[in-house]
Each structure stands twice: as structure tokens, then as C-alpha cells.
Amino acid sequence: MSKRLKLLLTASVVIIVIAAGIVATREVSRQWLFENAQSQGEDRLLKYVGDIRRALRRYHYLPYLVTDHQPSRKLLTGDNSLHDDVGLYLAQLDKAANTKGWYILTPKGNLIASSRKHASWQKADGQTIADKLVRQGGEVVTVSKIVDGKARYFLAAPMYSKSVVIGIAVVKVDLSTLTESWLAENELVLISHREQKFFLSSSQRYSAEWLNSQAQGMAQQPPSVMQLASGTTLSTWQLGQEDYLVQTVQLDDLKWKIYYLTPLKEQIQTVYWLGVSTVILMVSMLILGLFIYERRQKLRSKQLLQELVIESEYWLRRMFSKTNVGLMLLDSQGKIGEINPTAMRYFSLSDSMVENIFAWQLFETTAGNSTVMLLLKNLANHHEWGEITAVEVMARRSDGSRFPVLFSITSLPWHDERHFLITAIDISKRKKAENALRAVNEQLEQRVQERTRALHSAQEELVQSSKMAALGRMSSAITHELNQPLTGLRTLLSSNELLIERGETKILRANMKLVDTLVERMANMTSQLKTFAFNRPEQLTATSLPDTLQQILRIHQQRLQGVDVRIRIPSHLPDVLGEPQRLMQVLGNLISNALDAVADTAEPSLVITASEQGKQVIIQVIDNGCGISESMLDNMFEPFQTSKKMGEGLGLGLSITANNVRDMQGTIRAANNVDDEGRQAAGVTFTVVMQIF
């Protein structure tokens, strides 16, 4: 970068700094002056609010001078002969109190007497006063009104006779007296009424009439907003050619708004002169600073450069000696120039040994990485070569013992000469840990294989035991179930021989019906066993749940008599993935079991619902029967598990149902019913989940 360009950049920076200083000074002073004006204005505004309140309170007692005046009371009761006396009395009060009129009204607001014979009383004012007295309950009320830009302020009090309002005493006050003290203070204070029109001003220059005529009324114009850094928001008006800080407060009871205007001319001039002073001061400081800077810069540059060189060498040697990695700095011949304490500890070297040893002598030459050995012996001949990083080699201590290290070497310029930096990390502990871990892994793998073989053997034995246990339960159940009808057949057949000899055909015919019943019972048992062993379907199809359920209900129509049956199935339920015959058997078994459970229930009920949830159809069969014990819920879908008496079933119904549901890629579960409070209720709910086709 040329000297001229540097000078130009420096001048630009100086100008920017000076400009920023001026702007910052002006802004800080402006913020402080405006915030101070805001604070003082708030104090003055509160003072004027207090003055207004005190001035109005002085008139508050005036209506009571009339409420107890007996002639006035008699005039209200109908004695018109006292009209002139009452008017004279009111005129005296008006003159003494320096007010604008005293009036006596009827309870409805009609004028009866006045302190001024030619007073222009507005009937609407009387009605307004009367209505406000009724609303506020009999105390002194105030009514303010603006006519032709001037304020009318009335105070009224009720006049009673035996707790009955017989009239109203009214005093009209001149509000112009409020501004007399403000004129002495030479401050600008304004008051506007609820229609946003000014009616009082402390300034003769900016009168209420002038303000209302400017820009269609200053009170209706939104002021300019100024935001200070402290978060304070200032409002300003421009009157004539001057700016004013505007602060307002609302008198809620009178609906008046009081404005206090602070002129900002003095603050703006102060900010200007502070900016000029800042320019002069900053230029002077800049010249002085440049002189001192140039003088010290030359001396400091030399001193700083020397300190940096010394500090760099110090920290470099400190890092070299304190690192926990073995470091060696070699010259181009392979001789050790610098070695840190860690490397000396690795190789068991002393200071005298380091002076007379080459780097290649510290590494194994008969085994290990031959490339590294050749490189260390011929460093002077390898002018162009890549770095070697983290190569495992065998190192040799001064006592001849060997140990593994991670070897790295890189070319490093040092004092205008070519040197080489060797990094060596002792990995003896890591190698021992790796060997130990390898041995442990081999032992662990061998133990896992042994345990796996033992588990396979135990699993085969467990499966065989389960098969034998299931076969035993099945044999016991079948034997018990078949023994009963077989015993009955034997008895009936023996009886039939005697009946044939005796010729008692009628009894013989009845016995034969019993024989047929027992044979049919045995056929049903074998049919269940055949169904239990039935193979899975080869292909599942779309099956209509409503059609299947309709057939099941028709089959059990006779058993369903006397049972409160409720079917809740949507009209557009999609078909499920299944097999019609198996789905019919599933629903038939669940409904049959539910009918068996409610057989002894006083008011039996059966609820069947179906709903679509995502890609599944949820089917529920709910009864209010005897329920199932908690101990049987876990294994109720296993074969030969039943809560019925001996002779009433093999316990294959729910097992067949569960197998059929699984064959149709569905699930089934059962749970005892609970009420809204979580307590167990009567009955069981079977839930079947089927896939949508």
C-alpha cells in the first residue's frame, strides 16, 4: 500500500471519528437537555393541575349559601311575593363572590330566580344539571360547557324539604381567573374541553381562539413524536416558527385536558454550541495525540520487536520441553540437535549420550518398518518427500530393550537451514491393553458359543417338554370328555338288552335317543379337534363384516331372545382381509361365549361395535356377564383352558378363535369391563383387530 493511500485512509478515519464525536456529543446533550425539560415540565404540569383543583374547590361551598336560605325555600314552595327579595339576595352573593351568576331551579331544571335580570339562561343547561344531580345522588355536582370558545362552569346543590328535593341552587363561575397566576409565571398552559377545543390559554400571543383556528384546531392534530434513548417518548408542537415540548394530563371528572408547553429554542441553541465546542476540542486533542503518538511509536516499535522475539523463543522452548510427546530436532545429517525431556525418558538417554548419537540408532534396524530406517540414515539424499505420520515402529532404549512407538517425521526450516522434526509416542501400554482386550474378546467369544449351544439344547428340551405337557393336557381332556359318553353308552346298551327281552319298546326308543345324543356329542368333540388342527388359508380375500355378522345373528336368533342386543356398525365400513368361514367362526364363538356368560344375568345385554381406525377395523364384543378371573386372562387363548364345568367343552373354542384371527393377520385380546371411575364392572370385552382389504 502506497504512502499516499495510507495518508488518505488515515485522514478519512480521522474525519469519521471527528464527525462521530460531534454527532455523539450533540445527541447525548440533546437527549439530556430534552429529558431534563421533560422532567421539569412534568413537575410544572402537576403544579398547575393542583392549582386548578384548588381554584375549583374554592367555589365548591357556594351553592350551600342558597340551600338554607328561607326566602328561597318559600319561593320554591309557591310564595311568589318573595321573588324580588330572592333575586336581590342572589345578586349580592354574585357580587361578593365575583362569580358570573346565581340561579334557583326547580327539581326538573326550570329557572325560578336569578341574580341577573337580563341573564340569558339556557333551559338545556338546567335540564343537564338536574339530570346529573339525580344520577349522583344529591351531592354538589359540576357541569362544564363551552359556548363561543368560552367556558361555562356551573356548581349545583339540591335544596331539600323533609328529605324531598324542592329545588336546585346553581352558581356559574368565571374560569378566566385561573390564568391570572399563569400570566405572572410567563409560561404557556392550555386547557381544552371534551370536544378537543381550547377555551383557556395563559398566553396572550397564543390565545384559545388563535389555536382553534390554526390547522383546524391544534388539539385535534397529532403531535410529532420523538423517542429518546432512555425509552422516553416526547411530543412536540410547532407554533409559529418555534418548537414546543407538549405534556398533557386528563381530568377525568371534568373531561378537560391540560397542556403544558415548554419552548425548545434554548435547548436547541445549547446543543448547537456544544457541537461547535466539541469540534474545537477534538481537533486540538487530535493534533496533540498525533504529536505524542509519532514520538512514542519509534521507540515502542524497537522495544516491542525485541520483546516479541524473546517471548516467541521462550514459549517455543517451553512447549518443546513440556509436551508429553517425544520430540527430536535433526539436522540434515540425522544428528540430534534438540531433544525434549519426554524423548530422553523414552529412550533412557543422558545429556552426554545425546551429543554423540544419531537418530537412526534409536530405532530397530533388524526388524520393523525398513522404510523408516532407510529414511533416517539418508536424510541428506531425500530432498523431495512427503511427511510420514503415525507409523508404528519398534524403538530401542540405551539399555537395548525394545518398545513400540508411533513415529512421525516432517521437514522443518530452522535458522535458514533444513531440519527435521521427529515425533515419537510410546504406545507400550496401548499395545498391552490391545493384547489383553484381544485375549478377553477371544475368551468371551468362546464363552458365548458355549452358552449359545447350551441355550439351544435347553430350548429344545423346553419345546419337547411343552409338547409333552400339551399332549398330556389334551389326552387328559379328551379322555375325560369321551369317558363320560362312553360310560353312558355302555350303560344304555346294557339296559337295551334287558328292554328287548322284556319287549318294552317305548323305553327302548327313549334310550336310543339318548344314545344318539351321546354319539353326536362325541362327534362335536372330534370336530373341534379337527378344526384346531386345520391348516392356514392359502389366500385371504375381501370379507364383508356386516354380512357375516348378519348370518351369525340369524343362527343364534333363538338364544338371543330376552337379551338386549345393540349393533353399532357404520354404514360405509370397508371390507376386511380374511376368509368368510373363519370370520364367521370367530364371531360365532365370541357371541356364543357371551351368551353363555349372561345366562344367569338378570338383565343380559350384548353390544357389538365396529369402527375404522387408519388401515384397521376394530371389532368389540361386550357383555355384562360373569366375567373372567384375572388369573385366566393371561392364558385364556391357550388350548384346553376353560372355566366351564367338565362335560361342557374341551376348552378349544377361544384357542380356535385366536388361531383363526392370527391366520387372517389380525389380533385378539380380552379384558374385564371397568366403569367410569376405573373400578371393575360386570362382563368382558373381546377386541378383534382386522386389516382393511
One-character DSSP codes across 586-641: HHHHHHHHHHHHTTT-SS-EEEEEEEEETTEEEEEEEE-SS---HHHHTTTTSTT-
Q: What is the pLDDT of residues 5-21, one digit of tens each?
A: 777 777 777 788 777 77
- d(C-alpha 491, C-alpha 55), whole Å: 127
User: Strands 564-568 and 605-613: what pairing?
Assistant: parallel
Q: Tell me, what amino acid is at 261?
A: L
Q: What is the pLDDT of residues 638-682, one digit of tens each?
A: 765 555 554 445 456 677 788 888 888 899 998 888 887 878 888
Mean pLDDT of 432-452: 88
Confidence category of residue 604, pLDDT binned at 50, 70, 90: very high
pLDDT at 328 over 50: yes
Residue 484 exposed, middle or buried by CB count within 10 Å (0-12, 13-18, 19+):
middle
Average pLDDT, the chain: 78
Amino acid 648: pLDDT? 47
- d(C-alpha 156, C-alpha 605), whole Å: 82
- d(C-alpha 155, C-alpha 170), whole Å: 6
Amino acid 182: pLDDT? 57
Q: Which of 60-64, 139-143, 466-470, 572-576 has the lowest mean pLDDT?
A: 466-470
Would you say 99 and 59 are in contact if contact means Cβ atoms under 8 Å apart? yes
**In 3D, which of 577, 589, 588, 587 has the Cα closest to residue 537?**
577
Amino acid 488: pLDDT? 67
Amino acid 76: pLDDT? 84
Q: What is the pLDDT of residues 168-183, one digit of tens each?
A: 888 888 776 666 555 5
Q: Which of 64-68, 433-437, 533-537, 543-547 has the lowest mean pLDDT?
A: 533-537
Confidence category of residue 620, pLDDT binned at 50, 70, 90: very high
pLDDT at 222 over 60: yes
Helices (H) and strands (E) in the chain, counts: 17, 23
Q: Which of 274-288, 357-371, 553-567 has the lowest mean pLDDT?
A: 357-371
As a whole-number percent, the residues of the chain with pLDDT over 70 amount to: 83
Amino acid 180: pLDDT? 59
Q: Where is pLDDT greater, at 306 or 619?
A: 619
Amino acid 471: pLDDT? 58
E strand or H helix at 517, and its extent? helix 505-532
Amino acid 647: pLDDT? 44
Give the three-class secondary structure for 298.
helix
DSSP state for residue 692 in the 8-state scheme: B
Would you say 686 and 571 are in contact if contact means Cβ atoms under 8 Å apart? no
Cα-based distances in Å from 570 to 228, 510, 565, 580, 643: 68, 50, 16, 20, 34
Give the Cα-Cα-Cα angle 404, 406, 408 (nearest 5 degrees). Answer: 140
- DSSP assignment of 388-411 equals EEEEEEEEE-TTS-EEEEEEEEEE
Is the four-CA dihedral 177, 178, 182, 184 of positive or negative sign?
A: positive
- Distant-in-sequence, close-in-space partners of 96: CB < 8 Å, separation ≥ 6: none
Phi (first) and psi of residue 199, to 5 degrees? -130, -10
Q: Which of 189-193, 270-274, 287-291, 637-641 has the lowest mean pLDDT?
A: 637-641
- Number of other residues whose CB lies within 10 A of the CB of residue 44: 16
What global pTM score does this model have? Answer: 0.36
- Number of other residues whose CB lies within 10 A of the CB of residue 356: 9
Would you say 495 and 511 are in contact if contact means Cβ atoms under 8 Å apart? yes
- d(C-alpha 56, C-alpha 599), whole Å: 94
Give the three-class secondary structure for 107.
coil
Q: Please count the residues of the chain.
A: 693
Max Cα-Cα span within the chain: 153
Amino acid 646: pLDDT? 43
Would you say 584 and 548 are in contact if contact means Cβ atoms under 8 Å apart? yes
Confidence category of residue 163, pLDDT binned at 50, 70, 90: confident
As a whole-number percent, the residues of the chain with pLDDT over 90 amount to: 7
